[in-house]
Amino acid sequence: MSENGDGEIMKRVHEEDSNEDVNLPKKRYYRQRAHSNPIADHCFDYPVSPQQMDWTQEYDVSMTEQSQVEFADIGCGYGGLLVQLSPMFPNTLMLGMEIRVKVSDYVRDRIKALRKKHPGQFNNIACIRSNSMKYLPNFFRKGQLSKMFFLFPDPHFKKAKHKWRIINETLLAEYAYVLREDGRIYTVTDVEDLFKWMTSHLSAHPLFQRLGDEEMKADPVVEKLFESSEEGQKVSRNSGQKWCAVYRRICDTSS
Contacts with ligand SAM by CB under 6 A lie at 36, 38, 75-77, 97-100, 103, 131-133, 151-154, 166, 229-232
- Amino acid at position 229, single letter: S
As a whole number of angstroms, the distance between CA 178 and CA 8 comes to 31
Least distance in angstroms from the C-beta of 150 to ligand SAM: 8
Amino acid at 253: T
Closest contact distance (angstroms) between CB of 82 and ligand SAM is: 10
What is the crossing angle of helices 80-88 and 230-237, to 10°? 120
Smallest gap from Cβ 131 to ligand SAM, in A, equals 5
Find the catalytic residue in 109, 154, 190, 252: 154
For the CB of residue 158, give the shortest distance to ligand SAM in the complex, in Å: 16
Shorter beta-carbon distance to ligand SAM: residue 50 or 153: 153
Give the nearest distance from C-beta 119 to ligand SAM in angstroms.
Answer: 27
What type of residue is 101? Answer: V
Shortest distance, position 188 Cβ to ligand SAM, whole Å: 8
Sign of CA pseudo-dihedral 224, 68, 30, 24:
positive
The single-letter code of the amino acid at 193 is D
Residue 75 or 87: the one with the smaller Cβ distance to ligand SAM is 75
In terms of C-beta distances under 8 Å and separation of at least 24 residues, what long-range contacts does 161-166 make, across chains too? Answer: 162/197, 163/39, 164/37, 164/38, 164/39, 165/194, 165/197, 165/198, 166/38, 166/74, 166/75, 166/132, 166/133
Instruction: Verify whether residue 6 is a known catalytic residue.
Output: no
Give dist(CA 184, CA 179) in Å, integer: 8
Q: What's phi and psi for 22, nearest 5 deg?
A: -90, 130
Residue closer to ligand SAM (CB basis): 114 or 235: 235
In terms of Cα–Cα distance, which of 13, 150, 139, 128 is closest to 73?
150
User: For residues 63 and 131, which CB has a smaller minimum distance to ligand SAM in the complex?
Assistant: 131
134: region left, alpha or beta (phi > 0 left; psi from -120 to 50 alpha): alpha
Cβ proximity to ligand SAM, 44 vs 250, nearer residue = 44
What SS3 class is residue 184?
A: strand
Nearer to ligand SAM, 63 or 114 (CB): 114
Point out the residues that are catalytic: 154
